[in-house]
Amino acid sequence: MPIYKAPVEDVLFLLGDVFQVGRYDHLPGFADASSDVVAAILGEAAKFCEQALTPLNRTGDIEGCTRHDDGGVTTPTGFRDAFKQYAEGGWMGISAPAEFGGQGLPETLTVAVNEMLVSANMAFAMYPGLTQGAIAALIQHGTPAQKATYLPKMIEGRWTGTMNLTEPHCGTDLGLLRTKAVKQPDGSYRISGTKIFISAGEHDLAENIVHLVLARIEGAPAGIKGISLFVVPKFLGSADGSLGPRNGVACGSIEEKMGIHGNATCVMNYDGATGWLIGGEHRGINAMFTMMNEARLGVGVQGLALSEVAYQNAAAYAKDRLQGRALTGAKSPGQAADPIIVHPDVRRMLMTMRAFNEAARALVLWTALQADVAHRSGDGKARAAAEDHIGLLTPVIKGVLTDQGFANTVLAQQIYGGHGYIAEHGMEQFVRDARIAMLYEGANGIQALDLVGRKLPQDGGRALRTFFGEVEAHVKAQQRNPVMKPYVDPLATALGHLQQASMWFMKNAPINPDNAGAGSTDYMHLFGLVVLGYMWCRIVEAANARLAGGDGDAARMKAKFVTGRFFVERMLPETATCLARIQAGASSTMELPVEAF
Ligand SMILES: Cc1cc2nc3c(=O)[nH]c(=O)nc-3n(C[C@H](O)[C@H](O)[C@H](O)COP(=O)(O)OP(=O)(O)OC[C@H]3O[C@@H](n4cnc5c(N)ncnc54)[C@H](O)[C@@H]3O)c2cc1C
């Protein structure tokens, strides 16, 4: 059975040394999150993930979810108990506002915990993950009455949430959406239509399920501008706050799918269900964006989390499996063969995963800190800068971390050789589970287009310029430091490639928009390499400071230098290839007529 050890020490190093989280103590909730408190919370989360969730990952995959004739859905054995533990542990609301029963701690902490949950059991983690997204949307866009009705129960983990966008004919292009909402004299709406692929749409983990549903009010304009968001609970409330009658929404079927079998992916039929508007008529897409941004970061974390757990298992296997001899002479002469970790090609795969994981974790936590600033700072300028950061980096995190996260699960499987293909080892499950993260929450091609088409030009390119400025300043400050030079020089080259690519789009996209479309995925990955390279420079700088301070954990810090060097020497140079592909333009991609395919 696969193993998992939560990366608590690495998170503490990133928060304390790299991002010096103490600098955020002026934000509400941060002073309560002293390093001792954070270490204790992460330690508890690690225990829950390692001991309760990891053992359910494979059994949940085998058993899957079952829909019954009455439309009810049973989750795999053990999920109910685990969810009860999760709710009783207060994990759903560690960062939710205290006024609704949360603990008000930084969102950054929730993000760190969520990585562990997903590594341990992605299918399980999606039930609370979607609920946290729905909580965020209700906090930002719900009326006071809606907040009072739903938030305390969702934060307590008694009720869960879902997100209902997709319809059979309408995925990426939400403007095609047909689900209908008809206004009633009491101000509520009757919602009718079919939603597909709804994660956690029905299950047996909670007393009630709060569906957030995109629908078109009768007579609304066509397209994306005519969409509104509604809250539609599975059970309607009674006047005394207890659960009332069943609403007109039911699970018609659950999908047979490639992975995440423990999470119920449902067809949801809305048949005159009662719902209430959230965030104003025809303003649904704005409200949904809150959930989508939250969810996109969460999906990026899924890529990292699966890469991490796959790496841990591959590393353990590589130390154990004996095949062949090291090229430089036997390393275990007393045994029939050397462990495969001696082979450079196996090391290449391990180091690729490791170098990605540690920098991706830094990127995720850095961005989560910006989310805390955006939601909690009293300084308007700081909030705006944090929003810029999140807007620019969300598509990069979602697209790059899930593309590379999936690729890394395949690398980990490769390290197992043929045994990686055999279900018993659990590696093929990681591959299957990781695959979905590239598809949902906006397929990765759409993330790349969002980055190139919306985020780059937004506000005259302000966010991009700020990002370039920050990386340039870091390079300049460190270039004369002999320890940092081997890291910042390649970063400067990679940044130059990103700047050239940005300029190329500015010049060539207006001539032919396909030039931007054809290069967008390469641009997203080029961006990802630069930002991960920047994270490595920050990590190495902090590790160097720790070593200079006579840190007791010298081996772990020294490993950061080597892993960072692997990244800048062997992964970062890919930026040149990305740039060359972008500068090739769209013609060879688009020239063949449709009939030729
Ligand atoms: C397991 C699972 C769970 C899910 N959970 C949820 C959920 O909880 N709630 C929910 O609402 N939905 C959910 N989804 C739906 C998911 O978000 C959609 O499948 C996804 O957004 C893509 O939509 P689609 O499948 O219709 O693909 P399409 O929109 O048909 O896209 C097909 C391909 O065309 C590309 N494409 C489309 N338009 C463009 C364009 N303009 N430019 C360039 N390329 C384009 C896409 O990138 C993609 O590669 C889930 C899906 C799955 C499989």
pLDDT digits (tens, 9 = 90+) for 248-290: 999 999 999 999 999 999 999 999 999 999 999 999 888 877 6
DSSP for 348-374 reads HHHHHHHHHHHHHHHHHHHHHHHHHHH
- Which residue's C-alpha comes closest to atom 2 of ligand 1? 197
147 Cβ below 6 A of ligand 1? no
pLDDT tens-place string over residues 151-168: 999 999 999 999 999 999
Atom of ligand 1 nearest to the CA of 201: 8
Whether the predicted pLDDT of 220 surpasses 70 = yes
Q: Identify which of 587, 579, 540 has the alpha carbon closest to the alpha carbon of residue 560.
A: 540
Token couple for 571? 């992964």
Q: Which residues are catalytic?
A: 441
Question: Which residue out of 162, 164, 197 has the highest number of ligand 1 atoms within 8 Å of its CB and is therefore the one to mutate?
Answer: 197
pLDDT at 553 over 90: no
Q: What pLDDT digit, counting tens, does each position of 419-446 carry?
A: 999 999 999 999 999 999 999 999 999 9
pLDDT at residue 103 greater than cutoff 90: yes
Q: Which residues pair with 159 in a beta bridge?
A: 208
pLDDT class of 174 with cuts at 50, 70, 90: very high
For ligand 1, is residue 449 a contact (CB within 6 Å)?
A: yes
Burial class (CB in 10 A: 0-12, 13-18, 19+), 248: middle
The pLDDT of residue 239: 66
For residue 557, report the distance from its CA to the centre of ligand 1, in Å.
Answer: 41
Q: What mean pLDDT is predicted for residues 49-60? A: 98
Which one, of 108, 18, 14, lies nearest residue 538 by Cα? 18
Helices (H) and strands (E) in the chain, counts: 17, 11
Q: What is the 3-state secondary structure (H, E, C) of 504-539?
A: HHHHHCCCCCHHHHHHHHHHHHHHHHHHHHHHHHHH
Which of 126, 127, 162, 172, when mutated, tests ligand 1's pocket best, judged by the most ligand atoms within 8 Å of its CB?
172
Q: Report strand pairing: 265-278 vs 249-254.
A: antiparallel
Angle of helix 380-415 relative to helix 427-435, nearest 10 degrees, comes to 140
pLDDT > 70 fraction of the chain, expressed in percent and rounded: 99
Ligand 1 proximity of 164 Cβ (cutoff 6 Å): yes
Distant-in-sequence, close-in-space partners of 591: CB < 8 Å, separation ≥ 6: none
Pocket test for ligand 1, best of 61, 164, 166, 173 (most atoms within 8 A of CB): 166
Report the pLDDT averaged over residues 455-477: 96
174 CA from centroid of ligand 1 (Å): 10
Per-position DSSP letters for 210-259, written without gaps between them: EEEEEEEETTPPSSGGGEEEEEEESEEEPTTSSEEEEPSEEEEEE---SS
Beta strand 208-217 pairing with 159-164:
parallel
CA distance 383 to 28: 14
Range of lowest pLDDT (258-262, 289-293, 410-414): 289-293
Q: Which atom of ligand 1 is nearest to the CA of 263?
A: 1
For the stretch 299-313, pLDDT in tens is 999 999 999 999 999
At 347, give phi and psi (nearest 5°): -60, -40
* Residue among 268, 266, 273 nearest 248 (CA): 273
Tell me, using a 6 A CB cutoff, whether residue 440 lines ligand 1: yes
Q: What is the Cα–Cα distance from 579 to 583, expressed in whole angstroms?
A: 6
| Distance of CA 443 from the midpoint of ligand 1 (Å) | 6
Beta carbon of 263 within 6 Å of any ligand 1 atom: no
Tell me which residue has its CA closest to atom 35 in ligand 1: 445
> Which region holds residue 38: left if phi is over 0, alpha if psi is between -120 and 50, else beta?
alpha
Question: In the predicted model, what is the mean pLDDT of residues 440-455?
Answer: 96
Residue with the larger pLDDT of the pair 553 and 160? 160
Alpha-carbon distance values, 396 to 50, 352, 531, 558, 566 (Å): 29, 19, 9, 29, 21
Residue 482 makes CB contacts below 8 A (sequence gap 6+) with: none
Q: What is the DSSP letter of 266?
A: E
Q: For residue 200, which atom of ligand 1 is closest to its CA?
A: 8
127 within ligand 1 shell (Cβ under 6 A): no
**What is the four-CA torsion angle of 335, 340, 345, 351, rounded to 10 degrees?**
-130
Tokens 């939601």 label which residue? 375
Dump pLDDT digits (tens) for 491-520. 999 999 999 999 999 999 999 999 999 999
